[in-house]
Structure 1
Amino acid sequence: MFALLRRTRKASARIALCAAAFALTACQPVSLGNIVGGSGGSVVAGQPVTVALLVPKTGSSGDALVAANLENAARLAIADLDGAKINLAVYDTAGNEAQAAAVTRQALSDGAKIILGPLYGGNANAAGLQAASSGVNVLAFTNNAGLAGGNVFVLGQTFENSANRLTRYAVSRGKRRIVSVAADNSAGQVGRAAIASAAAASGATVVAEVTYGYSQQGVSTAANEVANAVQSTSADAVFLASNANAALPFFAQLLPERGVDPTVTQYLGLTRWDIPPQTADLPGLQGGWFTMPDPNLTAQFDSRYSAAYGQPPHPLAGLAYDGIAAIGALVKQGRSDALSAAALTQSAGFNGVNGVFRFQRNGVVERGLAIATIRNRQVVVLDPAPRSFGGFGF
């Protein structure tokens, strides 16, 4: 086991930066009481609309990188708008809740009609509470669906969205008996609940739930439990909630060694296995299924961003572009209530750089996702992302 950890830590170190960007769920939401969506700042047709972008410019070095990419993507989106005028005002949250609340108050005082960001869940909650009394809505970059509601809308890719899409696909391919594997922490609890809910909604059954502590012994013990559960329950799928920066590389090696043959028992991934590319090198993930945004659209955005800024975008940069794209599409309509909760939750949704998306009534984003697999260490799309909400998968 010690040799295993030494080998897989090298792979984990390579992918830490990108994978960590998606671990934005560790926050307990604060109730927004009886708030039912913000009315939105009143928009005057033909006049510029002030959008406040809240990012952690002076947080850790990693935060500063993400913040710069989010701002760059937002400005790229503004340049692409046709028929909508947006003034972008950028505020530094420093990655902490107190400052997020303070700069939200400042943004409202400066005339912001809508808030784009912040990045982290606790910051988003703080911003939402401050903006609620003004009726201003917040499009947060967090992926914590538990924070959505009231005037807070979650832009980040959620476990629920991924689990629903992937479980429906699995059931359509005859995979109905699932063993879920999730860490014994807050993110793992969210992932485990998402898998259970998706299974119930799609006609699948979670025949066993395995939780683990992230340690040598914890992962090893969990791998044994998964193998026993697959055998004793005749499970035909194992749903792994971990990402590549945590236990995924370990399970990718340990489970096949314990007799969970990925050519017989389908491996499913709740997180993206295409970021970074080294993830596809893990032998145990060959043939596994996971969700990802439309790769063609993502490649187009990556190319345009690189041409504009001289380097590829951070995986989260597209969230800022999507937020501006949605705001611009609504402002273009020329209605005074263009940024209200009712307008944001229009059923047709919006077109973003990662594909079609829309906000549900509960404030959680729903995105059109592709189903992908790994073959010979290459990502291959099995089922393309739908381009509208009338298409397959919705």
Structure 2
Amino acid sequence: IGDGANLLIGPLLAHSVHAVAPISRAAGVPVIGLSSDRTVAGGGIYTMGFLPGNEVERVVFYALKQGLNRFAVLAPNDAFGATVISSLSATVARYGGTVAALAYYHPSGDDIEPVVRRLADYDNRREALLEMRKELDGKDDELSQKTLERLSLLETLGDLPFDALMIADGGERLQRVAAMLPFFDIDPKKIRVLGTGQWDTQGIGTEPALMGAWFAAPPPSARESFEKRYRELYGTQPPRLATLAYDAMALAAVLARRNNANPYGPEALMLHSGYAGRDGIFRFTEAGTAERGLSVLEVGPRQNRVIDEAPTGFSSETN
């Protein structure tokens, strides 16, 4: 700022943005941070990070359009889990459907197994199956024997009260949660599994229970050329957040070329029509966060595929 900077780009972590904010505000210099923590945004601080709330709203809205309307959530008992649950609840309240079940596990993941077991109502459903088998076992008519034969293939009896399950997690904990689903007879063929942008990585489908799951993320096609060029230059895949820094720098360059008296003022940064970047379209809101046009993707064995394209422009409704 002392050297005449009129825009700051790059604080990645929320605490760094917090540290910069009072200095930049006092000088009247806006900041574009890369954090996804919306609490640091506003008052001249803009954040480029991907917001889980937007991702949840997008995929839940899509699920509702596909006829799914009874949602359950499995979430760590932390700030991220609370954000996902809040966004899902708000989306359902706005567009229809019900929140049928909420289940929290400790962020350590130590209690994932019993939490999933309770969500699945496994013990009661297992007991119902055993009771039915016992009742039919004493009958020798053809219908009873055929039913008994069919029941011998089941683990439990009775439907779950939800048709979609949001798992608010990623990484190793996600793999542990997903592995428990078929173990306690939450069948991904009957229950659509949903996730967040944390799933925006290839190879997530190595966990069979996640095959066919849906999540919302920026359109992959928008960053393909960036990733290709990065690999050519550095011989490795770019970090997933590299596009945030690239788009922030590109935006600064575009605005600087306009030769306005105040190229980085709120009117320019919060342009209603937004901007097209390596992660698709985006625009800054009055709150300082980045609103994005997101795709819906389906998890595949090797690659995730887009099943609902991202919007190409902003309107009053961008879902």
TM range (shorter): 0.7 to 0.9
Q: Does 1:206 align with 2:99?
A: yes
TM-score, reference length from structure 1: 0.68
Rounded to whole Å, the distance in 1 between the matches of 2:102 and 2:22 is 36
8 Å Cα contact 1:207-1:235 kept in structure 2? yes
Alignment match of 2:163 (pick from 236, 243, 246): 236
Q: Map 1:356-375 onto structure 2 (within 5 A).
A: 356-375=281-300
8 Å Cα contact 1:141-1:319 kept in structure 2? yes
Q: Map 1:1-394 onto structure 2 (within 5 A).
A: 108-215=1-108, 217-228=110-121, 234-245=161-172, 247-275=173-201, 277-390=202-315, 393-394=318-319
Displacement after TM superposition at 1:352 (Å): 0.6
Rounded to whole Å, the distance in 1 between the matches of 2:94 and 2:197 is 20
8 Å Cα contact 1:273-1:280 kept in structure 2? no
Cα distance change on mapping 1:264 and 1:299 into 2, 3 Å: same
Displacement after TM superposition at 1:361 (Å): 1.2
8 Å Cα contact 2:11-2:34 kept in structure 1? yes
Structure of higher CA gyration radius: 2
8 Å Cα contact 1:325-1:350 kept in structure 2? no
Displacement after TM superposition at 1:271 (Å): 3.2
Give the aligned residue type for 1:330.
Answer: L
Rounded to whole Å, the distance in 2 between the matches of 1:307 and 1:377 is 22
Give the aligned residue type for 1:375.
Answer: G
Rounded to whole Å, the distance in 2 between the matches of 1:387 and 1:300 is 18
Unpaired segments ≥5 residues, structure 1: 1-107
Rounded to whole Å, the distance in 2 between the matches of 1:348 and 1:330 is 14
Displacement after TM superposition at 1:238 (Å): 0.5
List 4+ stretches of structure 1 deviating above 4 A: 229-233
8 Å Cα contact 2:196-2:217 kept in structure 1? no
Displacement after TM superposition at 1:333 (Å): 2.1
8 Å Cα contact 2:78-2:107 kept in structure 1? no
Rounded to whole Å, the distance in 2 between the matches of 1:204 and 1:117 is 40
Rounded to whole Å, the distance in 2 between the matches of 1:216 and 1:370 is 29
Q: Please state whether the residue corresponding to 1:272 is helix, strand or coil.
A: helix
Displacement after TM superposition at 1:109 (Å): 0.9
Cα distance change on mapping 1:268 and 1:330 into 2, 3 Å: same
Q: Please state whether the residue corresponding to 1:343 is helix, strand or coil.
A: helix
Rounded to whole Å, the distance in 1 between the matches of 2:162 and 2:313 is 33
Cα distance change on mapping 1:186 and 1:274 into 2, 3 Å: closer
Cα distance change on mapping 1:391 and 1:378 into 2, 3 Å: farther
Q: Please state whether the residue corresponding to 1:109 is helix, strand or coil.
A: coil
Give the aligned residue type for 1:179.
Answer: A
Q: Please state whether the residue corresponding to 2:304 is helix, strand or coil.
A: strand
Rounded to whole Å, the distance in 2 between the matches of 1:226 and 1:377 is 29
Displacement after TM superposition at 1:390 (Å): 4.0
Cα distance change on mapping 1:205 and 1:150 into 2, 3 Å: farther
Cα distance change on mapping 1:391 and 1:371 into 2, 3 Å: farther
Rounded to whole Å, the distance in 2 between the matches of 1:216 and 1:305 is 35
Displacement after TM superposition at 1:317 (Å): 0.5
Q: Please state whether the residue corresponding to 2:186 is helix, strand or coil.
A: coil
Displacement after TM superposition at 1:392 (Å): 7.7
CA RMSD in angstroms comes to 2.1
8 Å Cα contact 2:203-2:301 kept in structure 1? no
Cα distance change on mapping 1:241 and 1:315 into 2, 3 Å: same
Cα distance change on mapping 1:298 and 1:143 into 2, 3 Å: same
Cα distance change on mapping 1:392 and 1:263 into 2, 3 Å: farther
8 Å Cα contact 1:241-1:271 kept in structure 2? no
Q: Which residue of the partner structure matches residue 142 of structure 2?
A: none
Unpaired segments ≥5 residues, structure 2: 126-157
Rounded to whole Å, the distance in 1 between the matches of 2:266 and 2:92 is 30
Rounded to whole Å, the distance in 2 between the matches of 1:118 and 1:215 is 28
Rounded to whole Å, the distance in 1 between the matches of 2:94 and 2:225 is 34
Displacement after TM superposition at 1:215 (Å): 4.4
Q: Please state whether the residue corresponding to 2:72 is helix, strand or coil.
A: strand
TM-score, reference length from structure 2: 0.83
Provide Cα deviations, 1:182-229, integer angstroms capped at 9, x if missing partner.
111222222322222233233232222211114464101221132139
8 Å Cα contact 2:203-2:303 kept in structure 1? no
